[in-house]
Structure formats: C-alpha cells, structure tokens
Amino acid sequence: MARILIVDDEVHVIGALRRLLRREGFSIEVAHNGEEAIEKLASFEADVVISDFRMRGMNGLELLGQVLRIAPKAARVLISGHADLSTGGGPQAGIISHFISKPWDDDRLIADVRALLGGQGPVTSGP
C-alpha cells in the first residue's frame, strides 16, 4: 500500500488528513515539524510527503527540498492557507510536485494524491 508522510504543526490538520487518507486505504505516518519528518524518513519510505508551508523551525519548502535530496522518488506536496505556489517558476520549481490550498476539498485532495501515485489508489506490493 502507498505510504504517505503528513507533516504539520497543527494537530487538527494532521488528524483530518490522517482520517481522510486512512479511509482511502493509505499507510500514514505523521510528523509535527520538519526535523521530526527527516527522522521519520530514515525508517518510513514515503511515496508521498504532504507538508504544511508555515511551521516553526524548518518551513515546508525547506523540508521538501531536504526530502528531494534524501528521498527523491517521493512526491512532494506543499499545503498552505497562506501561500499560493501553484504557479510554476520561482525557487520552489523542481522541489514541489504539487500545491494544495487550505482549506482543501477532500475529493480533490484524494484525486491529486492518486494522480501523484500514477493514477492508482492505494498501491499494494505483490508478485
């Protein structure tokens, strides 16, 4: 099954995303800041990393830049209610696979995650 790491310093946002994505059958791990996310990636091979933009310490763009280096196959999603990075160009080009605005639409978020995973739902390992 596809593995998703959710990174946000707001507990209610983590809870909402975790419930939504688990209901769809994805394996979920969470981190409350960028440093914790980097630690988690040492043992959790994420297919998708969803990170909030505004967090204490390392912001989401900085984190996703680190993710690109240490887990280059992982899709990198930035989620924010304060930034609009949906257009190309700028320093985020090549770092962010996808941008989602808060508040998000559940159906759209699931569709976006599936698209990042190659158009599939939860991926299961098999022969």
Q: Where are the domains of the chain?
A: 3-116
Amino acid at 74: A
From the options 3.40.50.1370, 3.30.1340.30, 3.40.50.2300, 1.10.10.10, give the CATH code of 3-116: 3.40.50.2300
Residue with tokens 């040492």: 42
What is the pLDDT confidence band of residue 1, given thresholds at 50, 70 and 90?
Answer: confident
Residues in the chain: 127
Using the 8-state DSSP alphabet, how is residue 101 labeled?
E
Helix then strand count (H, E) for the chain reads 4, 5
Amino acid at 98: H
pLDDT for 118: 87
pLDDT for 81: 83
How far, in Å, CA of 71 to CA of 32, rounded? 19
> Nearest 5°: phi and psi at 87?
-90, 155
Picking from 25, 22, 74, 81, the residue whose alpha carbon sits closest to that of residue 50 is 74
Q: Kindly report, residue by residue over 47-76, the tens digit of the pLDDT.
A: 999 999 999 999 999 999 999 999 999 999
| Confidence check: pLDDT of 87 > 70 | no
